[in-house]
Structure 1
């Protein structure tokens, strides 16, 4: 079944997750970075590895609202744009944990860091008894955090298409690959190393040649025997090359794909849900561009997870901040600021939010590959497909 657009086209968003911008070194920032404490209060630091849209979500949305309700708490942010220093961050966190020292931040908003830090045993154990807000999050979404990650927002890759030129929208992956062949030059996806929307398309094609158990394994670990079975999928991607936008030419990043859709250079492409809404809001793409979700299999999507360092001096305060993020108010801020899917049960949110995100079921998101697997997939694509 095709799920047509039902997300909030009117939501304000700043910059889509996964979009590529200029890199910069780690820097402390945020509207609250200069806030003063009365000496009896608590100061928390949120470490972010990602784009400035995530930092703005905290600095301009979550933090001011939280501090207004908690005047004795000051929350600062520090950001590593695009995760250029993720390995060093994990090493620092590991060293601090082994020494029993405070690592210098109390909450981590960074996919690779959270995952690697959990593997190193440096994060606080998490469940609904520890973080009460998790009681409203679907069990499957919580379980994907493996007892350490705290889901707080989500997004998925969708199939965007030009309604002026596309009259028969593909409903399955097989429909989509047939459409690409029948409409040469009208479909594009970015190389997976430059953005997650192209990576989701590649992942989905590769998954179509794997069993469900094999797919599930690659979402939790790197298995060389299973990855060897990607050969059929890469063969299909290679065969599709002559029918894509220009043979051997692939857009550089998620944003370039949307620019091509907006200019009419192509008629169809995989895109991130939040970036789609942002681009339509800004006028980068017109109202003639709509979206659907395919099936058998669907494109991938995922929740973003927070982590709490176990040797933080303020774990209780960090848990309180997380519970605010998972509250109805916090989830609405995420929707308004970044067009992110709520991770809590929609029935706990106002009716207008329920209506706007009726298809945004985080429990139904098909996750992407484990980080090491995803990197290897991108490397093999570079070697085998263009």
Structure 2
């Protein structure tokens, strides 16, 4: 018998008109396998820095450590087709067909975990889970496994902003008194923009409502966003070029690095990486605000329960949580490790002396985040 959550998720299939016969993310017909295939596919719904992390760093290292395995990537930039992907995964699960990929790295992982579409894993299959904070594992639901962390921070040009805002109220005031010097990416295109929007919306919500929106689908609470959306719409005239919202996290960093803006919310990992590789000049610094802070937390992986390559997928997932892979993630994109720091090299430990990944302020549950993105597009730009 199908779970109620899985049955509810089937509505997404009808909503987007998905043809059940072709369930792979690329639209090709799903293929069968006896489960022994060592050719794996990772589905990525992310920005280009995460694509580079997998294709240039993690996959070559995994294949080197595990001769005979080959890993490919199916990439959806900024998660532009997340709704269709979830529907296809649902259809594949119901029909017990190969979805075409074996590991998912996407913002909707917790959503499909709650819908029963992922394979639950334990420390018996993935021993490194014993080193991951229980709060992160619980947040991943039934099959979501954290593999890296980060938080959104406020980046600013020290030559034009000698004293950065310390609270959200201070930041909103600064934006209005320095028109054209701030922006954020459209929330559907990047998590840094989504974090800024979430933080403004949260300012008008109770602590209990914030917690509910972060942990479960809660459309009944979304009317509480009205005040926050009004605040965001009121910023249009003060945002870069009278309301230009870049496409993705990287474009925001480019504007900041080139001096076209003086301040923006950015991902901590992208910022540190940009400083290391010279993309971010020395005059750009970062800080965290309060009341409330920007959001942060873990990014999750999941193994589709319909994949016939369960053993290979578990092997790859386990390797990603190994000290070797966690050090590579820290070095490549400055992602917070999710395993105990004492298992990692001293150089990695030095990067994150104060990181407490188990207690970062979480963003919204994926279904609520999707609703937020749609509402922002309708209520904010051009207002």
Give the secondary-structure state (helix, strand or coil) at the position aligned to 1:319. helix
TM-score by length of 2: 0.81
Q: Write the distance in 2 (CA, Å) between the matches of 1:272 and 1:292.
A: 11
Instruction: Note closer, same or farther for the CA distance 1:89–1:182 as it changes in structure 2 (3 Å cut).
Output: closer
Q: Judge conservation of contact 1:204–1:297 (CA < 8 Å) in 2.
A: yes
The answer to whether the aligner puts 1:69 opposite 2:65 as a matched pair is yes
Q: Write the distance in 2 (CA, Å) between the matches of 1:88 and 1:42.
A: 27
Q: Which residue, 192, 199, 204 being the options, matches 1:204?
A: 199
Q: Which residue, 91, 97, 102 being the options, matches 2:93?
A: 97
**RMSD between aligned residues:** 2.7
Q: Judge conservation of contact 2:111–2:366 (CA < 8 Å) in 1.
A: no
Unaligned runs of 5+ in 2: 1-24, 29-35
Q: Which residue, 152, 157, 162 being the options, matches 1:157?
A: 152
Instruction: Note closer, same or farther for the CA distance 1:96–1:71 as it changes in structure 2 (3 Å cut).
Output: same
Q: Judge conservation of contact 2:78–2:188 (CA < 8 Å) in 1.
A: no
The answer to whether the aligner puts 1:272 opposite 2:267 as a matched pair is yes
The answer to whether the aligner puts 1:111 opposite 2:107 as a matched pair is yes
Instruction: Note closer, same or farther for the CA distance 1:95–1:235 as it changes in structure 2 (3 Å cut).
Output: closer
Q: Which residue, 158, 161, 164 being the options, matches 1:169?
A: 164
Q: CA deviation at 1:261?
A: 1.7
Q: Write the distance in 2 (CA, Å) between the matches of 1:225 and 1:82.
A: 27
Q: CA deviation at 1:158?
A: 0.7
Instruction: Note closer, same or farther for the CA distance 1:261–1:348 as it changes in structure 2 (3 Å cut).
Output: same
Q: CA deviation at 1:352?
A: 1.1
Deviations 1:45-67 (A, max 9, x none): 32333344333323332223223
The answer to whether the aligner puts 1:46 opposite 2:39 as a matched pair is no
Q: Write the distance in 1 (CA, Å) between the matches of 2:313 and 2:104.
A: 10
TM-score by length of 1: 0.80
The answer to whether the aligner puts 1:60 opposite 2:75 as a matched pair is no
Q: Write the distance in 2 (CA, Å) between the matches of 1:368 and 1:187.
A: 22
Give the secondary-structure state (helix, strand or coil) at the position aligned to 2:215. coil
Which residue in 1 is equivalent to 2:6? Answer: none
Unaligned runs of 5+ in 1: 1-24, 29-39
Q: CA deviation at 1:282?
A: 4.7
Q: Judge conservation of contact 2:110–2:141 (CA < 8 Å) in 1.
A: no
Q: Which residue, 111, 116, 121 being the options, matches 2:116?
A: 121
Give the secondary-structure state (helix, strand or coil) at the position aligned to 1:90. helix
Q: Judge conservation of contact 1:193–1:378 (CA < 8 Å) in 2.
A: yes
Instruction: Note closer, same or farther for the CA distance 1:362–1:175 as it changes in structure 2 (3 Å cut).
Output: same
Q: Write the distance in 2 (CA, Å) between the matches of 1:202 and 1:136.
A: 33
Which residue in 2 is equivalent to 1:359? Answer: 354
Which residue in 2 is equivalent to 1:317? Answer: 312
Instruction: Note closer, same or farther for the CA distance 1:135–1:373 as it changes in structure 2 (3 Å cut).
Output: same
Q: Write the distance in 1 (CA, Å) between the matches of 2:240 and 2:80.
A: 31
Q: CA deviation at 1:241?
A: 3.9
Q: CA deviation at 1:206?
A: 0.9
Q: Write the distance in 2 (CA, Å) between the matches of 1:248 and 1:217.
A: 31
The answer to whether the aligner puts 1:147 opposite 2:142 as a matched pair is yes
Which residue in 1 is equivalent to 2:286? Answer: 291
Q: Judge conservation of contact 1:41–1:74 (CA < 8 Å) in 2.
A: no
Deviations 1:48-103 (A, max 9, x none): 33344333323332223223332243333333444444444434433443344443
Which residue in 2 is equivalent to 1:334? Answer: 329
Q: Judge conservation of contact 1:165–1:267 (CA < 8 Å) in 2.
A: yes
Higher RCO, 1 or 2 (CA under 8 Å, sep at least 6)?
1
Q: Judge conservation of contact 2:47–2:190 (CA < 8 Å) in 1.
A: no
